Structure 1
Amino acid sequence: MIAELGRFLVAIALIASVAQLLFGWRAARAGNVGPLAVATGRASAVALGTLGAAFVLLAVLFLQSDFSVGYVAANSHVDKPVFYKIAAVWGGHEGSMLLWCLLLAGVGAGLNRWGPRSDDGLRLRATAVQGGLQLLFIAFLFFASNPFDRLDPAELAGRGLNPILQDPALAMHPPMLYVGYVGLSAAFSLAAAGLIEGRGGRVLAEALRPWAVAAWAFLTAGISLGAWWAYYELGWGGWWFWDPVENASFMPWLVATALIHSAIATQRSGAFPGWTAFLALTAFSLSALGAFLVRSGVLTSVHAFALDPERGLWILVMLAVIAGGGLALFGWRASTLGRGDGFEPTSREAFIGANNLFLVVTAGVVLTGTLMPLIIDALGGRMISVGAPYFNTVATPFLALLLVFLPFAPFLPWRKAGLRPVAISLTAALWLVPASIAGLALMFAGGSIFAIAGAFVGAWAIAGAISDYQRSRGQAGLGPRLASAGRSMAHAGIGLVALGAAADSTGAPEISRSLAPGETMQVGDTILALESVTRADGANYMADSAILVATEGGRTLGRLRPERRFYPANDQNTREVAIRSGVRGDLYVSLGDPHTRGDGTVAYEVRASFNPFVWLLGLGAALIALGGLTALAGQAAHRRRPA
């Protein structure tokens, strides 16, 4: 009965989305006729409420282990811990799409409630466009990907969630990533509404900027959690592999970054009105492309949750409607937004434009490398693989240029030329950079030229952010101070990520040894001794747990406990790495399969590496996300300020 009720609620949400689209469209055309506007708000609330109730019902089905529901049987098991039963609600294809639709409806209700009250036509039109987006995805959910479909006959114990997804970080990764993905739909809907209504410039930029900043902050957090999960769960020691699904989240992040800065320039000085609308349409289109790549079955990745070409065709059609419709609308109505106000080549707008160019070109490079193998394969060509060497060689220089230009814009005046303020304001940075480089030269002794260059631009960006923060502390008003502090935090975080990536690239290669208890291996200056291997079974897995004692210079640093696990329900082995973190970096150890030597001794494959200064990556990512939320709080405080 619960599954049937859930299916009914999804159907009601589908009907409510149709009503939201039609009523919102009519209300915008009629100039905010009261009953139509009220009906639009109620339809958006019904869509949100019914999808929220359906999501709760799906969670109940997992907690009850109702294996007569196909999605529950495929992603849960009677022995699975309760935490992972709840995480499995969005851990597979159907549940994650229900979450996606729920968030879309949340954005729709939010646009109706918190959209631009000074322009009811723009708000209602945006709510209607959002209803159209909801309609596309809820129809896909109901007809092609329904999590409430019954299974006949029912399974007895369930198949269980993919073991590598049974992890606390990955349990939180999809919701955060989806908030970022779907949050960009608000910018899409507002931009489309602005084009239809002929409302561009400052009005549109002010309306979409908070949504873009919030989505960008959550997208940052989601990407960072995914990178951290890959680092400690997959056992290969890396945090970014330029995997197609990683790229699918990175591309909208790059475009959303450009969108935020372009919206600031448009709101402040009237520059880039058409460009801001174009970026808003493109950012969510790339989010939809990410859904297609993950859900379609056109690629294989450890992150991909489903391999179903039929569903992929549905999403491809939706992608064509969203991206194709958005670009067609832009081509038709962009002229109504105006050309924007002029500015000098050394103004703040000029440097924002240059950084926008670097961000969008980088996104284009990543898009090309991600899709090229798929396009060539679809045309019947020879299968090719585009991996990390391509992206590191082609995309990294544009990101480095971005970091070089990053500190300048905050010190430049709007519209007018002004390099003199930069020379004065960056005095502190110019002192900090040589000091940073002197320390980094020692740190990266023997590192590649790319590592040294990455360290240089990372330190430069951090120094510029510090100077910007010192300059802006005396601003009047809480809102401007918070916005400036958020900007400085985000810019410093990007510098820290560059610094951490440069440091990590200097690490020594991974060492693999066959060890029996009592034997040792050396990783840099650290000696690892295998003390013992014992059984450590969990609720739904069997495990061998090793204890390795780490010593350096005769001093014991600690014990590391990596595991190798076997999940019977999935017939799958995993490695649970052990990491000892310190100021200098991470000692990273994983345990492999056992084998018997000729003398009868049982030995285990042990892989170990030292990854220098990896903590800089986590600190940088946290600062970027926190900076975005701080800037968002500054915008909210500024809006509440009395005139």
Structure 2
Amino acid sequence: MIPELGHFALALALALALAQSVLPLVGAQRGEARLMAAGAGLATGVLIAVAAAFAALLWSFAENDTTVSAVVQNSHSAKPMLYKLAGAWGNHEGSMVLWVLILALCGGAVALFGRGLPGALRARVLAILGMIAVGFLAFILATSNPFTRVWPPAVDGQGLNPVLQDPGLAFHPPLLYLGYVGTAVTFAFAIAALIEGRVDAAWGRWVRPWALASWSFLTLGIALGSWWAYYELGWGGYWFWDPVENASLLPWLAGCALLHSAIVVEKREALKTWSIFLAILAFSMSLLGTFLVRSGVLNSVHAFANDPERGVFILALLFITVGGAFALFAWRAPALMPTGIFAPLSREGALVLNNLLLCTVAAVVLAGTLYPMFADLMLKAKISVGPPFYQATVFPLALPLILAMAAGPLMAWKRARAWPVLQRLWWVALVALGVIALVWLVQGRPVLPALGFGAACWLILAAFVDVAERIALFSRPRAAFARARGLPRAAWGGAVAHAGFGISLLGMAGMGLATQALVNVRPGQSVPLAGYEFRLDGVGDVVGPNFTARRATVTVLRDGAVVTVLTPERRNFPLARQTTTEAAIHTTWASDLYAVMGEEENGVATLRLHHNPLAPWIWLGGAVMALGGGISLSDRRARVGAPARRRAAAEAEA
């Protein structure tokens, strides 16, 4: 009975979303307040209905209801409760319900917290969110019903993919979807502005919190997924430029550009057309990522579905949404004439350079991701685009981007001079160059890790200089504390986010100095690596909740003293008929000691051993970046709509 109620709730949500996509839009066009006000109630109704459907799905998985097809395919009675619940969104059907639930939450948030918006703008935003919900709810009901029954009931489920049975993967999809769906709200604001034909400082103030929240959740989601790949897949890396990894990076890059562009709209009423374009682009990249993951056109550990019917449906939705949005943009954008004028050398100019470089990086990643697919389809040629391509194309673009990130916040609005900025950053540049030279001379490695360390120091110290200049730390040290207390949280958040990116760069540069060894050893034998001695003490059997494993015991010594004991495992899941590796990691924050167990034969075990300097800093930097976004979002100015539009309207009437 519960699954039928969930199915009915999805159908009810579709009906309410249809009304939400029509009535407020008509009301805004006709100026009818009652129809415009209906949007908030309908958005709340959609939220309640989708939440009820998702609750029914969670109940089905928690109770292991083997009459439901999704439960049979993705759960098992022996699984821990966390993975039973995670199985609700660890499959294609359930993940799409989670997608729509987060979209409904965003619609409900706009309805609740958007009371300060002009009635017509709020109605149009809710209508566009309703249209997006209609598309995805129709997709779920037509091709991906999570409540499909099976008869006779199965004895038990087949279990979740063993690779996904991990706490990191339990929370990775919700965080990533919060970021994806947040771009839908900025998209809705952009389309509403195009329909209305007006973008001003108030619009930038309303859009920026959504862009900031979306970017922060995407940062956390990407960092968590990278961390999971590092310790769960057992290959010792943090980013493989997998096509589906790239699909999450693309909206992050576009969202980062939008976030900075919205600042210029708010402060200077410039870059209006560019901000609208970026809002459309960010959501388009989110939809493209959904298509890549759900259509089966790419083979990836992240891919959920392999169904041409679903792929065609999402592709049609992608073309309608993106094609319609860009067609409207081409028609209406010329009317959005900029009012803010600025010199190329200014903070606005630095933000424009930042945006251009971010979009160029996104274009390179998009080409590398999609070209193999088109080459296979059109030329019947199998082409592989891997890390060497991205290292040769993305890194040269990242260098000027990092330079601009440090210098931009120190420039004045409208018109700046280069010399004052150079005066503030000269010692930062000297430190960065010194670090590059030191790493290059000591390590004798390729220049890329040395450049990474220098760029990281440049960003972190420049973020410190930015805050120090704002609070007059060096010129008026006695008043610095009071000025720091009065400094807007948005300024603190921007500096923290930039420093967080520098911290991640430190970790990435450290991974460039990593050492590894693939060895075959017998119990009692030792292997030297990076000043450590890895000794295999033995291999034994282990029984888990739903798996059996062979566990190696590896003692790590340095100068004869025991540093740690690593216990990597090779797990066998009988139900899924799948074998996975469980890496053993000892971290000191300065480095990771990393061991993975491979095959055994005739008493000889294969071990892959890594020494990864500064590896934990990659994910620490991601957390710091998201923290910076949260600090900025806590600024009251980011949560209170600017009254500029209402004031301008009152003056016009007078």
Q: Within the alignment, does 1:536 sit opposite 2:545 as a pair?
A: no
**Matched residue, 1:21:** 21
Q: Within the alignment, does 1:513 sit opposite 2:512 as a pair?
A: no
1:296-311 → structure 2 map (5 Å cutoff): 296-311=295-310
The CA deviation at 1:618 is 1.6
Task: Map Cα deviations across residues 492-520 of structure 1 (whole Å, 9 max, x no partner).
Answer: 11112222212211212x31222222222
2:217 aligns to what SS in structure 1? helix
Aligned Cα root-mean-square deviation (Å):
1.9
> Separation in 1 of the partners of 2:116 and 2:248?
32
Task: Map Cα deviations across residues 352-387 of structure 1 (whole Å, 9 max, x no partner).
Answer: 101111000000000000000111112143111111
> Separation in 1 of the partners of 2:452 and 2:578?
39
**Matched residue, 1:470:** 468
The CA deviation at 1:424 is 3.5
Q: Within the alignment, does 1:573 sit opposite 2:579 as a pair?
A: yes
Amino acid at match of 2:463: A
> Separation in 2 of the partners of 1:217 and 1:551?
40
Most deviating of 274-283 and 478-487 = 478-487
Q: Within the alignment, does 1:484 sit opposite 2:491 as a pair?
A: yes
> Separation in 1 of the partners of 2:538 and 2:78?
28
> Separation in 2 of the partners of 1:179 and 1:638?
18
Q: Within the alignment, does 1:10 sit opposite 2:16 as a pair?
A: no
Q: Which runs of 5+ in 1 are unaligned?
A: 597-601
The CA deviation at 1:152 is 2.5
> Separation in 2 of the partners of 1:479 and 1:338?
35
Task: Map Cα deviations across residues 214-268 of structure 1 (whole Å, 9 max, x no partner).
Answer: 0000000000000000000000001000000000000110010000000001110
Q: Within the alignment, does 1:271 sit opposite 2:270 as a pair?
A: yes
The CA deviation at 1:604 is 1.6
1:126-145 → structure 2 map (5 Å cutoff): 126-145=125-144
1:461–1:495 Cα contact (<8 Å) kept = yes
> Out of 536, 539, 552, which is 2:558 matched to?
552
Task: Map Cα deviations across residues 131-167 of structure 1 (whole Å, 9 max, x no partner).
Answer: 0000000110111111001122322111111000000
Task: Map Cα deviations across residues 311-339 of structure 1 (whole Å, 9 max, x no partner).
Answer: 11111111111211111111011012113
Q: 1:430 to 1:635 in 2, by over 3 A?
A: farther
**Matched residue, 2:474:** none
1:580 aligns to what SS in structure 2? strand
Using the size of structure 1 for normalisation, the TM-score is 0.96
1:199-214 → structure 2 map (5 Å cutoff): 199-214=198-213
The CA deviation at 1:439 is 5.1
2:460 aligns to what SS in structure 1? helix
> Separation in 2 of the partners of 1:478 and 1:11?
51
2:553 aligns to what SS in structure 1? strand
1:54-453 → structure 2 map (5 Å cutoff): 54-115=53-114, 117-427=116-426, 429-430=428-429, 432-434=431-433, 436-437=435-436, 440-441=439-440, 445-453=443-451
The CA deviation at 1:641 is 11
> Separation in 2 of the partners of 1:304 and 1:641?
42
Q: 1:563 to 1:636 in 2, by over 3 A?
A: farther
2:580 aligns to what SS in structure 1? strand
1:587 aligns to what SS in structure 2? strand
Amino acid at match of 1:45: T
> Separation in 2 of the partners of 1:154 and 1:479?
64
The CA deviation at 1:457 is 1.7
Task: Map Cα deviations across residues 78-108 of structure 1 (whole Å, 9 max, x no partner).
Answer: 1111110011111000000000011111111
> Separation in 1 of the partners of 2:316 and 2:205?
32
1:334 aligns to what SS in structure 2? helix
The CA deviation at 1:428 is 5.1
2:296–2:304 Cα contact (<8 Å) kept = no
The CA deviation at 1:290 is 0.2
Amino acid at match of 1:549: T
Amino acid at match of 1:625: A
Q: 1:340 to 1:506 in 2, by over 3 A?
A: farther
Most deviating of 533-542 and 160-169 = 533-542
**Matched residue, 1:503:** 510
The CA deviation at 1:427 is 4.8
2:37–2:123 Cα contact (<8 Å) kept = no
1:200–1:338 Cα contact (<8 Å) kept = no
The CA deviation at 1:479 is 8.0
1:479–1:633 Cα contact (<8 Å) kept = no
The CA deviation at 1:431 is 5.3
**Matched residue, 2:614:** 613
2:179–2:214 Cα contact (<8 Å) kept = yes
The CA deviation at 1:637 is 6.6
The CA deviation at 1:433 is 2.9
Percent identity among equivalent residues?
A: 41
Q: 1:552 to 1:476 in 2, by over 3 A?
A: closer
1:282 aligns to what SS in structure 2? helix
1:272–1:340 Cα contact (<8 Å) kept = no
2:607 aligns to what SS in structure 1? strand
> Separation in 2 of the partners of 1:480 and 1:494?
22
**Matched residue, 1:582:** 588
> Separation in 2 of the partners of 1:373 and 1:221?
29
> Separation in 1 of the partners of 2:327 and 2:296?
28
1:563–1:575 Cα contact (<8 Å) kept = yes
> Separation in 1 of the partners of 2:541 and 2:336?
67
Task: Map Cα deviations across residues 540-586 of structure 1 (whole Å, 9 max, x no partner).
Answer: 11111221110011111011111110111100000100011124311
> Separation in 2 of the partners of 1:457 and 1:189?
37
Q: 1:146 to 1:171 in 2, by over 3 A?
A: same
Task: Map Cα deviations across residues 373-409 of structure 1 (whole Å, 9 max, x no partner).
Answer: 1111121431111111111111111112100111111
Q: 1:281 to 1:638 in 2, by over 3 A?
A: closer
Q: 1:51 to 1:638 in 2, by over 3 A?
A: closer
Q: How many residues align?
A: 635
> Separation in 1 of the partners of 2:202 and 2:325?
19
1:586 aligns to what SS in structure 2? strand
Amino acid at match of 2:179: G
**Matched residue, 2:475:** none
Using the size of structure 2 for normalisation, the TM-score is 0.94
Most deviating of 105-114 and 167-176 = 105-114
